[in-house]
Structure 1
Amino acid sequence: MFYPDPMLPPRNPDERLKARGADTRPEGRFEPHRRIREADGWDIPEDEHLLRTEVVSESPRSIITRNTSPDIGFDRSINPYRGCEHGCIYCYARPSHAYLGLSPGLDFETKITAKPGASKLLERELGRPSYRPAPIALGTNTDPYQPIEAKLAIMPGILLVLRDWNHPATLVTRGQTVLRDLDLWAELAARDQAAVGISVTTLDPALARALEPRAPAPATRLRMIRELARAGVPVRVMVAPVIPVLTESELEAILTAAREAGATTASMIPLRLPHEVAPLFRDWLDRHRPGMAAHVMNRVQAMRGGRDNDPRFGHRFRGEGIEAKLLHQRFRLACRRLGYREGMPALDCSRFGPPPRAGDQLSLF
């Protein structure tokens, strides 16, 4: 029989959860102690309260993050938020909350840090004499169009700076608020300076609601693809993660639906469960799909060298073994049959430069 990770603390009985992916707050891997509630007979019962999202502001010194990973095709990124209210139980970004002394479980989806000064920081960094342009990836850790963005509106400021400086950008999202900024994305795309990736994990609305409780429904994500494509924005459908047993049978159906909606390129990543994500996902399986739990994890481990996760460069995004090979072969054949292009078009960095200011001398050419 399959059992969840015994190190996960029990759920807080005083909290009422509504549309949350995790069920508890395991300590992050850097914490020296674990805390477990124990009834000693002296506890005074408390009123149950609804767990709500808390948002705090951060004023970082810089906004562009650099990386040298050989697994990803960009060297710089911007994440306007830490944590993500979408609450996707499989999210590989959950362990990043441990760096803040917070839990990758419920804290990740209920304690959000926002960077409202992102646009001013970006303009300052682009204006440095040493800066050399290359596409900036938006939303590589947590979704910049998660629900709180509808209220805080950090992204329009970022996009206006990118537009004014003629700087290319890419986006990964599943948040429908991206359509609020459709005109800005279309303007960048008209200059060959924008490309958007939309994540579609499943076409089953009930499964999506359990896996990704506060993310838009699958039909809404297909509508996002359709409207972005109609506006001239190159769209990539990201079938990620592909979860054995639960969603892998939908691979071809998702690719077909996204192609009909207007996606021109596609990508696929098998489920990976780094650090604290593995016990959280195991706990989710035990709560939502107990009869499939052992089967799902056996298939995951078949693609990860017998472990829940394989962190090696070159393997973590692809997996290994016959299970992974068959999955990638299905993906390639479906993309070829549906007419997907290989890779997104190159973005134009040649026009990068500071926007004209009042009093600037006009160019003769």
Structure 2
Amino acid sequence: MEEGVPCKTPAAKLTPPVKKSQDMHDERSKLVNEYACRVLELLGMGHRLFVPRLLATSKEDLLQADFEGALKFFRVQLPKRYRAEENARRLMEQACNIKVPTKKLKKYEKEYQTMRESQLQQEDPMDRYKRENRRLQEASMRLEQENDDLAHELVTSKIALRNDLDQAEDKADVLNKELLLTKQKLVETEEEKRKQEEETAQLKEVFRKQLEKAESEIKKTTAIIADYKQICSQLSTRLEKQQAASKDELEVVKGKVMACKHCSEIFSKEGTLKLPSLSMDNKGIETDDEKDALKKQLREMELELAQTKLQLVEAKCKIQELEHQRGALMNEIQAAKNSWFSKTLNSIKTATGTQPPQQPQQPLPPKEGST
């Protein structure tokens, strides 16, 4: 290791001066001697730490050996054992774990200071100054290197921080824009929600009125249908009674016709006319009169029966028409319910942007009344 020229203040970059080979050899020899003295000094100071641990770890070997064996152990076996790095490290750990009393430490410190002072007094001041100068130069170079490293690290950190700051500012701008858009959308959504609530309230009121109206119409229609059904049942009962009475009268007439000698010759048991075989004038006249009377009575009965059937058919048609109207009203009410709910739900979902609007449900076709 080369020495530098002593100077008061270290330069920024030191370059060792050019010296002769003899001087460099002398200085190198002095350095070697100095380091050797330091190593021996450390070993001399450490005998208080290492020797007790060496004796403790080698106790069994020393007790088994004689005096010559103990000397050989210290000279050959012990150095050979601690050439291995693991054993040397273990020895150092054991030596460092020894607890030395404070009084002994102060005593050792005092002895070391005394020895250093005596060495400094015996040492040449020129050598001491050179060594001190070399140490200061090394410290200066180390500090300059550390300063360069710190400056480079500072510049790198500033660049990284500036990049991070730019990214954070860009991100903050983007977030601010998104926040403004979100606030605007929120205001629009609240306004749309208010409008939808107003429309919903109006639709509810309209639906309530229509529902009340439809319910009242259904009640009226139901009452009318019940009345017509009652009328139809009465007409049916009346028709049945008239048919039974007509049948009885017809049987009576048939009985009388069959009982009459002249009539039995004109009509058969089924009520059909027979061609008369006699052509007398008096019989023909009586037969024509009776025939006309019977035909007139039969036409009256048929006319009354036809009127009764016509009334029954008209009542049934009216009932079917009312049932058809009732079914149409029910379908309209159901369609109004479905359409109102679907429109309200779709408008709310469209305003909030959660679901695309759907087509309203088509009303069901009205049921046809049973004939």
**If the length of structure 1 is used for normalisation, what is the TM-score?**
0.13
Higher strand fraction (1 or 2): 1
Higher helix fraction (1 or 2): 2
